[in-house]
Each structure stands twice: as C-alpha cells, then as structure tokens.
Structure 1
Amino acid sequence: MDRLTRNSIIISAGLFLFLIATLAWDRYGAAPRVWQLNTLLKEDPVLAQSPYRFRATVFLNGIVTLTSPLADMVSIETYVKTVDPSLADKPADDGALQAAEHAFRETELRAIAVMLAEPDVDSVVWALDRAWYHKHGVRLDMAPGTGT
C-alpha cells in the first residue's frame, strides 16, 4: 500500500470516528453542559413564548452566563420598543410600555429560575446580546471605553 492510500484511509477513519462521536454525544448525555442548559431554556413553556431567546454561552464553576438584550448601557425601553414597534412613540410613563417592561422582567426572572433549578448552577450573570440588536437593525451607541 502506498503512502497516499494509507494516509487517506487513516484520515477517513478519523473523520468517521469523529462523526460517530459527534452524533452519539447528545444521545448519551455527554453533550457539553452549555448545550444542555440551552435545551432547558428552549423547552421551558414560559420562555418559549418570549420574543427574546435567552442562551447560555458559558458555564464555569457553577456560574452560567446568559445572553440578554439588557445591560447597563442599554435600557429596557430600547429593547421593548424594538420588540414592539407600536410602543416606539410612547412616553416612558405609558401604561403599555410599562406593562411590556414588567413582562420582560418576569421572563428574565424565569430564565434565572430555570438555571438555578439545576443542582450544579450556583449563579447567573448576564452578557449583552449585541448580535440581537444588530439583527434587528438597532445601532447601539456605546460610551467610550466600553469595548465597541
């Protein structure tokens, strides 16, 4: 057998084993913990009805990092008006706007509760989901020194 044939067989076998391991990964509960946490978030009936899909991005030492459309630099009003354009012209004290903000806060608390219900999750931290705003065509004007 020449060298090229031998190398081709070795590479093909390696790729085949990698494919089998990848397909069996989730089936036998060996999926990375972040994937498992994201499945929990996706399958929760309350969170499934939310216009924003929370995602776990990191799980380390009992701390899960979830994406959120909110952060110190982005107001809840910006998020709510992006999700529901009919609220765009409403003042901050409008009842419909405040109800939408309250509903999002309740959804956020639900995401925390789903994560903390897991025995290996001790706390939740938030990471601003800039990609969500980009996808919805909203420019985030960040203060100097915030990394953007």
Structure 2
Amino acid sequence: MDKFTRNYSIVLGIVVIALAAWWLSSIWQPAVWEINEVLEADAELADYPYQFRVKRLEEGVATLSTPRNVQVPAYRFLEVIHPELAGLAQDDPKVIAAQQDLVDHQKRTQGLVSSQPGVDRVEWELDVQWLADHGVQVNGG
C-alpha cells in the first residue's frame, strides 16, 4: 500500500468513525426511552388508536408527537382513526365526543410526561410520518 492510499484510508476511517459517533450520540436518549415506556405502560393510553411518543428531551423540554395542529385539524385525524365520522358535521355530537376523547388523551400524556424527572416543559410536534402513513397530506411544511 502506497503512502497516499494509507493516509487516505486513515482519514476516511476517522471521518466514518466520527460520523458514527455523532449519529450514535444523537439517538442515544435513555431518558426518552424510559418516558416512552411509562406511556406504553399506561392502560388508558395504550388503548387509544394513536400512540403519543416523546421524540426528544433537551434541556428539560420534552417534545411529544401529536397527530394534529394548525396544519392538520383534529377532524382530519379523527376521520382516520374513526372512519364512521367521515362526512359528519364538525358540530355533530359524535365528532365532539371524539375530539374530547383526543383532548383527554393528550392531557393525560402531557401530565404523565410532565411528572417525569428532568422534564420542565412539554411541547408538541406534528407527527408528519404517522399522518403520511395514514394517507393524510400535510401542506406547508
């Protein structure tokens, strides 16, 4: 092996190792895993069609997944998990009950996460992947 090939191989190896270390450090979040285990163990949340998850925990801020926000109103999500609601008016009692059920589950999730050590605040982030997997397009972001 000539000198250039050897040096090139060493530099390439260092770059690969550095990238692997950076990637590993970015996914290594045992506190997130522990909080998600708490959410999975909650019987009420486990029965809900959407599983709320902690995506990140940074400087006391837990970022949770949500299937709704300004871009995707609750009604669009609810039609996915409750197809029988499709076509009903948004003020229909069945739709209102489903919306309240979603709110109750989000509040329960927020309460469980907020009570965990190291969590000072909870923020919500739209779960674009879940929505896409269920045929809901998200516009503008």
Secondary structure class of the residue paired with 1:38: helix
Per the normalisation by structure 2, the TM-score is 0.76
Cα distance between partner residues in 2 of 1:109 and 1:132: 20
1:78 — aligned with what?
76
Secondary structure class of the residue paired with 2:69: coil
1:12 — aligned with what?
none
Q: 1:116 to 1:61 in 2, by over 3 A?
A: same
**1:39 correspondence with 2:37:** yes
1:58-101: CA deviation from partner (whole Å, max 9, x where unpaired): 10111100111011211011111111111001011100000000
1:17 — aligned with what?
none
- Please list every run of at least 4 consecutive aligned residues from structure 1 whose deviation after the TM superposition is greater than 2 angstroms: none
Q: Which amino acid aligns with 2:69?
A: A
**1:65 correspondence with 2:63:** yes
**Which consecutive residues of structure 1, in runs of 5 or more, have no partner in the other structure?**
1-29
Identity, in percent, stands at 32
Cα distance between partner residues in 1 of 2:131 and 2:114: 27
2:122 — aligned with what?
124
Per the normalisation by structure 1, the TM-score is 0.73
Q: Which amino acid aligns with 1:129?
A: D
Cα distance between partner residues in 2 of 1:48 and 1:113: 15
**1:100 correspondence with 2:98:** yes
Matched pairs, number: 114
Deviation at 1:54, TM superposition (A): 0.7
2:25 — aligned with what?
none
Cα distance between partner residues in 1 of 2:39 and 2:100: 20
